Amino acid sequence: MVIEKLRRGEDLPAEWARELFPPEKREYELVYYGKERKEDILAETMAVPLQPVSTFSKNNDNAWHNMLIFGDNLQALKTLLKMKEQGQLVNVDGTPGVRLVYIDPPFATKQEFRGSQDQKAYQDKIAGARFLEFLRKRLVLIQELLSDDGSLYIHLDQRKAHYVKVLADEIFSEHNFRNEIIWRNTNTHNKSDTFGQIHQSVFLYTRSPQYMFTKIYRPRFRKYVESHYRHTDGGGKYRLSDLTGEGKRTGESGQKWKGYDPTEKNRHWAIPGYIYDFVEDDISDLGVIAKLNYLFDHGFIEFPDNAGGQPQIKRWEHLGMGNPIQDLWAYQPYTQNIYAGSEEAIDQDVSWAISKKEDAVYPTQKPEGLLARVIAASSTEGDVVLDCFAGSGTTLAVAEKLGRRWVGIDCGKLAIYTIQSNYSA
């Protein structure tokens, strides 16, 4: 009956929907014309043989050569998937698959983009449902390509970000969605009819709940340092923090020490946990009083000048990692080192990435500092990093500088020429 109705072009009765598509099997999905089954995408996508043209490897690793692939990234992804299955696509620790994928795909702008010398770069003409299925097919293969603890960053703008979020939830499971990173890519955008659009979104997904991630820190803001680190000694600028916590204790943390009794102020000795990372010896197993004596002997404790005050612990500006990066990335492309006299700063460990102005020779080129954060957070040295919309090759350049293996794919001649020229330089 179903077949006959479909042949006649008739709609199926609405009450059949529950029988044909049980809601308990699929809570929700984005429905659009031309959407294919995941199984069909994996089975029907053709793999293409890779013909070596140039070798990109500077790490003297004979078992691996970085790959720049010219062609359809869908077919190239299928080839890489076969390489993974055959044990030819592995990270330095032997883990099969790609540890990190970053993609900056077309944004469905319906525009044609040209290079700095007016060369044709690429056409972003696919829109609507065709764009969604175009990207979804690649996400399906990327999900299979990732190592079990791998991560995917999807860079988009407001045009299609929310549609792609739903698609990525279907493919990766919304439980493996980790962050929407807001990247402020410009200061102002003059629009007379609405708010200026000055940000883009980067979605972070992982293949499983067990994933690789390294917290990234940035230097403290200048105004924060000026307002909090107001004291100076031989170790530099420092701030003072409480050495006691609220509430009385009957144990050792409530005992008198050097004439100070914390219980008189309804408090107890509470040594901050961060201090153990900064002392030369392991004092974690010492008693409270012994720890206080050690910290005092090594210059970490300062006594108050005023009567009735309590001892406080020093925290020097140079100690610690700074401020952890959150999901709002507010630095600009082509940042000129650390802003002098500004509240903005860059990551300490990737400061090389945005220490000088970068020449934007390719349209929609992203700054190295942006990719440095991504690569440093979700991979380690020797891991495989993939960008299948390689464009200007920023991902590949940063991966090289950070000691990662890399694979880049693009179908544009200008992209391949730009990457080869930058690499040979």
Determine the average pLDDT of the residues in 61-78. Answer: 87
Q: Is it the case that residue 333 has pLDDT exceeding 50?
A: no
Question: Which of 37-41, 43-47, 336-340 bottoms out in mean pLDDT, i.e. has the lowest?
Answer: 336-340
**pLDDT band, very low/low/confident/very high, at 390 (cuts 50, 70, 90):** confident
pLDDT of residue 55: 60
Instruction: Specify the range with the lowest mean pLDDT, choosing from 190-204, 274-288, 308-322.
Output: 308-322
Look over the chain and give the mean of its residue pLDDT values, rounded to a whole number: 82
Six-digit token pair at 198?
């000055």
**What are the contacts of 291-299 at 24+ separation with CB within 8 A?**
292/243, 292/257, 292/258, 295/271, 296/258, 299/233, 299/235
**pLDDT reported for residue 117:** 56
Q: How confident is the model at residue 338 (pLDDT cuts 50, 70, 90)?
A: very low
- Tokens representing 217 are 């820190």
Residue from 279, 292, 297, 281 nearest 253 by CA:
292
Number of H helices, E strands in the chain: 11, 18
* Kind plus residue range of the DSSP H or E element containing 39: helix 38-44
> What is Dmax (Cα atoms) for the chain?
95
Band of pLDDT at residue 154, cut at 50, 70 and 90 = very high
Q: Which residues pair with 239 in a beta bridge?
A: 315
Query: Mean pLDDT throughout 340-364?
Result: 45
Distances (CA, A) of 36 to 6, 42, 172, 309: 18, 10, 16, 71
pLDDT at 339: 25
The mean pLDDT of 123-141, rounded to a whole number, is 85
With cut-offs at 50, 70 and 90, classify the pLDDT of residue 361. Answer: low
Q: 102-116, 164-178, 253-267, 330-344: lowest mean pLDDT where?
A: 330-344
**Span between the terminal Cα atoms of the chain, in Å:** 67
pTM (global) more than 0.85: no
Q: Which residue has the higher pLDDT, 365 or 260?
A: 260
